[in-house]
Structure 1
Amino acid sequence: MKLNKILFLFLFLLSATVAVAQSSLELKRKKEAIQRDIELLQRNLTKTAKNKKLTQSQIDALNAKIGLMQDKITVINSEIKNLDNQIHENTNTVINLKGQLSQLKKEYAGMIRFAQRNQNAYDKMMFVFAASDFNQAYKRIKYLQQFGQYRKKQAGYIQGTQKDLNYKIVVLDKNLKQKSSLLHEQESEKDKLGKNKNEQAQVLNKFSKQEKQYKQDIVARKKQQAQIDRNIRSAIAREIAIAKKKAEEEARAAAERARLAEERARAAAERARALAVAKAKAENKPIPAAVAATPVAKAKVATANSSNNYLTATPEAAKLSAAFESNRGSLPWPVATGTTTESFGKHKEGQASYDNAGITIQTNEGAAVRAVFNGKVTQIGNALGRYYVLIKHGQYFTVYQNLKSVSVGKGEDVSTKQTIGIVASSGDIPELQFQIYRGQAAQNPAGWLSAK
C-alpha cells in the first residue's frame, strides 16, 4: 500500500514537473524573442543618434522599444510567479517526504526491536512448535518469512524516500537561486526602462520644438503613402477588371455555344418532324400530335460572377485563394528578422494624423524581403526611388513597399519565402511597409502572420 502511495506521488510530481518545465521553456523563448527585437531596434536607433532631424521612424522605434521592454518585464514577472509556484510545491513535497521518512524510520525501528527480541533461533522454533496444529505452524513459518521480506522492503522505501528528499532539496535550492537571478534581472530591466522613458521624454521635447517641421514631414509622408496606396488599389482594380472581362468573355462564349447547340437541336427536331410528317402522308395516316409540336429543350447559359468572385472564377485561382485563407495566422514574416513599429489603422502624432493600410516592420540593414505565400507578381511600382511589389494569391494580394531593389519580374510566379527584393532605409532605419488586401479591402496583417 505504501509502495503504491509513493509511486503515485512520484508520477504526480513528474507530470507536474514536465508541465512546469514546458511553461518555463515557453516563457524563456518568448523573453529571448523580445530581447532580439529590442536589440534590433537599439541598433537602428544607435545609427540615427547623431541625426539632428527627428524622423517618424526614430520615434516609432523608440516607442516600440519601450513597449517591448515593458513586455519583457511582464514575462519576467510571469517567470517569477511560475517559480513561486514551483517553490511552494517543492517546499510542500519536502515537508511531506520528511514526514514519510520519519514515519518509515519509526516503523523500521520498531521492526528492528522486535527482530532483536526474537533473533534467537530457539525462540523462533518454539514460536512455530507452540502452534495448536500443523496449519497454524505453517502460517507462523510464512509470517516469519514475510516479516523478514517486509523489513527489507521498508529499508528500500527509506532509501528511496531519502533519495527523493535529497533530489527535491537540490531542486528547491536551484529554484531559489533562479528566483534571485530573475529578481535581479527584473530590477535591471526596470532601470533600463526608466532610462529609455527619460530618452523618450527628451525626444518628445525635441519633437515639440520641431513640431512644425515634423507636421510637414507627416503631411508629405501621408501624401506619398496615399499615392502609393491609390496606385496599389488601382492595380488591384485592374486585376479585377481583367478577371471580369475574361469571365464575361467566357460567359459570352458559353452562351454562343449554347445558342448554336440550341439551333442544331431545333434543326434536328425540325428534320425529324418533317420525316415523320412525310412518312405519315405516304402511309395515308394521321400526323401524330407529338410530331406536330415537337418541343426543343433550351440549353443553360453560363452567367458571370460578380465583385471579388471574378478573382476566383478559375479552379486554380479558387484553390490558391482557399489555401492562402487557410494559412491565416501562420503566414511567414516578409523578413527573417524584424519587429512591428507601427500597427494597422489610424495613428496620431501631435496634431497630425494618418492611416496605415498595413504594418511597418523595422529590420536589419540589407535584409531580404520574402513572399509570404505562393502567387504571381502582378505589379512592380516605383515611388521616389523606392519600389513596391504586388503579388496576387487568388482573391488576396500582398504588398511589399519601401524596397531598395527588386529581384522578380512582373508576371513571374513566386513561392513562399522566395526573396523578391532588398529593404530600403527610411531616415537611415531599414523598414518595410507590408499590406494584405482581400480584393480592394485592406486587412490587418497582424492577424495573418505567424507568432514569433
Structure 2
Amino acid sequence: MKLVKVVLLLVMVCGALAVHAQSSAELKRQRAKLNSELDDLNREYQATVQNKRASLKQLNLLKEQITLRENKITTINSEVRLLDNQISQNTNTVHSLQGQLEQLKQQYAAMIVFAYHNQSAYNKLMFVFASKDFNQAYKRLKYLQQFGDYRQRQAESIQGTQKDLHVKINQLDRTKNEKSSLLHEEENEKETLGKQQNEQVAVVNDLSKQQGQLKQQQREALAQRRRLDRQIAATIRQEIENARREAEARARAEAARQAALAAERAKAENRPAATVAAAAKPKPVERKSDSEVLTATPEAAKLSNDFLGNRGRLPWPVANGIVTQNFGTYYMEGIQMDNQGIDIKTGSGASVRAVFDGEVRKVANISGSYLLIIEHGEYFTVYSNLQSVSVARGQKVSTRQTVGTAGTDPSTGETSIGFELHKGKAAVNPKSWLAAQ
C-alpha cells in the first residue's frame, strides 16, 4: 500500500508539472514575442530620435514600448508565480521521497537483521520439515521464496526512490535558478520602464511647445479619418441598396410568374373574370432586412456562413505587423478619435492580403492613398492607407491573395494600414476575428 501511495503521489505531481509545462511554455512564447516587438520598436524609435519632424511619432513609439514593457513585466510575474508553485511542489515531493526512502531503509535493515539470524540452511530446512503436512510445508517453502523476492524488491525500491529523489533535487535547483534569472530580468525591465516613462514626460513637454502645430496635424488627421469613414459607409450603403434592388427584382419576377400561373388555372377552371383578374395581380414584395438581401442568393449565403465559421482564424491582412491603435474611441492630444477598425504597423513595401474569399466592391484614391473594400456575403472587409492596389472593382479574390501594398508616411517613414470589418452597416472589432499571432 505504501508503494501504491508513492506511485499515486508521483503520478499527481507529474500531472501537475505537465499542466505547468504547458502554461510555462505559453508564457515563454509570449515573452519571446514581446521581446521581438520591443526590439523592433526600439530600432524604429532610435531612428526617429534623429528626425525632429518625427517628434509625434517618437511619442507614439514610446507609448507602444511602455505598454509592451508593462505587458512583459506582467508575463514575467506570471512565470515567477508558476515557478513558485513548481518549487513548492518539488520541495514537497523531495520531502515525501526522503521520508519514504528512510522508511524503506529501516524496513530493509530489519529484513537484513532477520535474514542474518536465520541465514543457516539448516534452520530453513527445519522450518520446512517441521510442517504438519505437505500442504503446510509447501506454503512455508513459498513463504521463504516470497521473502527473498520481497527483499529484492525492497532493494530495487530503495534504488528507484534514490534516483527519483536525485532527479527532483536537480529539477528544484534548475527551477530556483530560472526564477532568479527571471527576477533579475524583471528588475532590468522595471529600470528601463522608469527611464522610458521619464523620457515620455520630456517628449510631451517638448511637444507642448508645438501644441498649435500638433493640434492642426490632429485636426487634419481627424478630417481625413472622417472622409474615409463617410466613403466606407456610403459604399456599404450603396452595395446593400444594390443587393436590395436585385433581390426585390427577383422577388417581383417570381411573384408575377406565380400570379400568371394562378390566372391560367383560374381561367382553365372557368372561374369568373373578377377572380381571374384578382389571381393575375402579383402579391406585393415585402421589404427585407439588410442581412436577408446580402445573403439572398445561395452563393452569398454560403460565403457569409463560411466567413462567420472562420471567426478567430482569419489570416492577418499583412504577413508581419503590430497593432498600434485598437478599435473604438481614443484621444490624441485632447482630440477625440473614433477608430472603426485597427491600425497595423508593418514593414516598408509590405504586401496587403485579402483575409477571405470575396468580391472587390470599391477601389478609391482618398487624399493620395487607396481604399479597398471587399464583400464576403453579409460581411465587408476594408483596407485603407494603401500605396497601391492590384485588383479592380468586380474582381473576385481568394484568401491571402495580394491586393495591394501598404502606404508609408514620407515625413516619418512609418508604414501602416487600416483594417476594418463590417457586418452590414455595423462596424465590429476585427481583432477577435483574426488568428492569434
TM range (shorter): over 0.9
Aligned to 1:341: 324
SS at match of 1:398: strand
Unaligned runs of 5+ in 2: none
Aligned to 1:52: 52
Work out whether residues 228 and 383 of structure 1, in 8 Å CA contact, stay in contact via their aligned partners in 2: yes
Q: Which moved more, 1:39-48 or 1:105-114?
A: 39-48
Aligned to 1:328: 311
Work out whether residues 64 and 340 of structure 1, in 8 Å CA contact, stay in contact via their aligned partners in 2: no
**Shift in Å at residue 422 of structure 1?**
1.2
* TM-score, normalised via structure 2 length: 0.93
Matches within 5 A, 1:108-187: 108-187=108-187
* TM-score, normalised via structure 1 length: 0.90
**Shift in Å at residue 331 of structure 1?**
2.0
Q: Deviations over 1:354-378 (max 9, x none)?
A: 2112111112222221111111111
Work out whether residues 365 and 425 of structure 1, in 8 Å CA contact, stay in contact via their aligned partners in 2: yes
Q: Which moved more, 1:136-145 or 1:170-179?
A: 136-145
| Cα distance in 2 for residues equivalent to 1:232 and 1:295 | 47
| Cα distance in 2 for residues equivalent to 1:294 and 1:436 | 51
Q: Is it true that 1:258 corresponds to 2:258 in the alignment? A: yes
SS at match of 2:53: coil
**Shift in Å at residue 297 of structure 1?**
6.8
**Shift in Å at residue 447 of structure 1?**
2.5
| Residues 57, 414 of structure 1: alpha-carbon distance in 2 compared, 3 angstrom cutoff | farther
**Shift in Å at residue 104 of structure 1?**
0.5
Work out whether residues 55 and 203 of structure 2, in 8 Å CA contact, stay in contact via their aligned partners in 1: no
SS at match of 1:53: helix
Matches within 5 A, 1:56-95: 56-95=56-95
Aligned to 1:239: 239
Correspondence for 1:364 among 327, 344, 347: 347
| Residues 16, 367 of structure 1: alpha-carbon distance in 2 compared, 3 angstrom cutoff | same
| Cα distance in 1 for residues equivalent to 2:276 and 2:336 | 72
Q: 1:122 is aligned with what amino acid?
A: Y
Unaligned runs of 5+ in 1: 275-292
CA RMSD of aligned residues (A): 2.2
User: What count of residue pairs does the alignment treat as equivalent?
Assistant: 433
Work out whether residues 263 and 276 of structure 2, in 8 Å CA contact, stay in contact via their aligned partners in 1: no
Aligned to 2:378: 395
Percent of aligned positions that are identical: 49
Aligned to 2:433: 448
Q: Deviations over 1:99-127 (max 9, x none)?
A: 11111011101111111111111121222
**Shift in Å at residue 214 of structure 1?**
0.6
SS at match of 2:197: helix
SS at match of 2:247: helix
Q: 1:444 is aligned with what amino acid?
A: N
Work out whether residues 258 and 300 of structure 1, in 8 Å CA contact, stay in contact via their aligned partners in 2: yes
Aligned to 1:201: 201
SS at match of 2:400: coil
Q: Which moved more, 1:326-335 or 1:385-394?
A: 326-335
Q: Is it true that 1:433 corresponds to 2:384 in the alignment? A: no
Aligned to 2:96: 96
Work out whether residues 341 and 361 of structure 1, in 8 Å CA contact, stay in contact via their aligned partners in 2: yes
Query: Which protein, 1 or 2, shows the higher relative CO under an 8 Å CA cutoff with sep ≥ 6?
Result: 1
SS at match of 1:174: helix
Work out whether residues 247 and 304 of structure 1, in 8 Å CA contact, stay in contact via their aligned partners in 2: no
SS at match of 1:329: coil
Q: Deviations over 1:150-204 (max 9, x none)?
A: 1001001011111111111111111111111111111121122122212211221
